[in-house]
Structure formats: C-alpha cells, structure tokens
A = this chain, B = another copy of it.
Amino acid sequence: MGTTQLESVPEPKYWHLKTVLSEALDSEFSVGEILPNERDLAARFGVARATLRQALEQLELEGRLQRRRGVGTTVAPPRVGVAVGGEQHTWPGTADDAWHPVDCVQAVPPAAVADALGGDRDEPVHTVRRSRVSHGQPVAAELLYVPASSVPDLTAIDAPSGPARARAVLRELQRLDLEGQERAVELGSARADDAKELDRLPGAPVLVVTTRFVAAGGTAALSVATYRADTCRLTFGDSGRVEIHHGPERKAS
C-alpha cells in the first residue's frame, strides 16, 4: 500500500495521458470549449511537450479534439454522420445529392485510376471536382473521373471547363444505364489540394471512398472521395441512425 500499483508492464506516458485527458473532456469540458495551450498542459502534467502532443494527436484522430494552428485546441462536437448511399444505385449528380460541382478539366488521370477505367494510361478523361458540405463545414472533396466514351454527346458548346462544364458532364452521365456499383473505404492522408479544400493540413487522416460505376459492361466512371476522418462517420444503408459515440462511461458493474 502507499505506492500506486507497480505495473510490471507500464503503459506509455502518452497513453495514460490520453486516458486522463479523455476523462477530463467528458466531465469537465463542453463542446467548443478551448483547452489550455500545449506548453501549459505539458507543464501541468509534468511531461515534455512532445509527449503531450502524442496524446493530443490520438484524441484528435478519434474526433475528440480539434486543433488549429494559431488558434488553439478545442473540444470537438460528436462526429457528424454522412450518408454515403448504400443500397440504391444512382449516378452522381442526381437530385443534387449533397455534393456541388466545383470545377471540371480534361486531364490524364493517375495511372491507378486509368487502369481501373480500363483505358489507355495516357488518355485524358473528364475530371470533375466536387465538394460536400455538412452543417456548414466542408466534409469531403471528390474527384470524379469520366472517360470521354461515357459521355459521347457532350457538346463543345458547353463551357470547356468550370462548374458549368462539370454540370454538363454529370447531366450526360444520367443518360447511361447504370448496371451496378462497387464501393471501397480505406484510410489515407490528404493530398495538398484536398487538404486545402477540407480546411486541414496536408497529410491529415481521411477516409477515402472509391466508387466504380458500371454501365454497358464496363467502368463508366470512377469516383474518389476523401472525407475528413476526424469529423465524419460514414453511414451506409437505411439511414444514419447508428449512434455510437464516445461519452462519459458509467461506473463499472
């Protein structure tokens, strides 16, 4: 007695710190509240700033905190559920599906995308940029790759680039008969351009949702959407009613 339990396998300081901070967030802070700065916090816990930061990083990764350079660290609201449309197979751009077109250019896609589209690696495709906003915050940035062969009737009359062009490509896509779609989700880190769009630093963790649209037996379009991993919970199926949040734990049984 007298000594705190001597752990034969002591957990790392930053791990313990994370636990302590997490409990403090539940009991002593409310959403949006600003935390003491990192130097003060580190001193208060008697650790180096780097160690404290390791704990803060994990909490930010879990969506509990939000840190902004020049501003400070705040308590994050619960993650917002964003529907990624599970069942119904629909083309992007129908009935304005929470996305809004930003731009469209004709460009040679990355090799991996070209391969998935099944076309020539050096063949330019329509590249539509769209962004998605939820609760006033940007949550996702998308690049939609559409081979020219998928939208044969696209007229040169439409603007050669820009939002108008993007809408034209989406409009032409609807004319195809959608046979199916395949979707995959994986972890990634934001490229510089996506990071800017998502109001994050480059390298920020994102959930990458890749969707392959199948029509006429081939890949008619490919969407690569990057969602902010810190603020988003992707929902599939009936609706976004699954609610498992981090919250104050109850006393053990």
| Residues on A facing B (Cβ under 8 Å) | 11, 15, 18, 58, 61-63, 79, 81, 86-87, 107-108, 110-113, 115-116, 121-122, 124, 180-189, 202-203, 205, 207, 210-212, 222, 224, 229-230, 232-250, 252-253
Q: Are B62 and A184 in contact (CB under 8 A)?
A: no
Q: Are A236 and B86 in contact (CB under 8 A)?
A: yes
Q: Are A249 and B110 in contact (CB under 8 A)?
A: yes
User: Would you list 12 pairs from A and B whose C-beta atoms are within 8 A, ordered by A residue?
Assistant: A61-B205, A86-B87, A108-B250, A112-B243, A116-B243, A182-B236, A182-B238, A183-B242, A184-B234, A185-B236, A210-B244, A222-B244
Neighbour of A121 across the interface among B62, B110, B116, B250, CB < 8 A:
B250
With A210-B244, A250-B111 in contact, is A189–B58 under 8 Å at CB? Answer: yes
Chain B positions within 8 Å of A113 at CB level? 244
Q: Are B184 and A81 in contact (CB under 8 A)?
A: yes
Q: Are B242 and A62 in contact (CB under 8 A)?
A: no
A86 to B87, CA, bound (A): 8
A202 to B237, CA, bound (A): 31
With A86-B236, A242-B211 in contact, is A188–B116 under 8 Å at CB? Answer: no
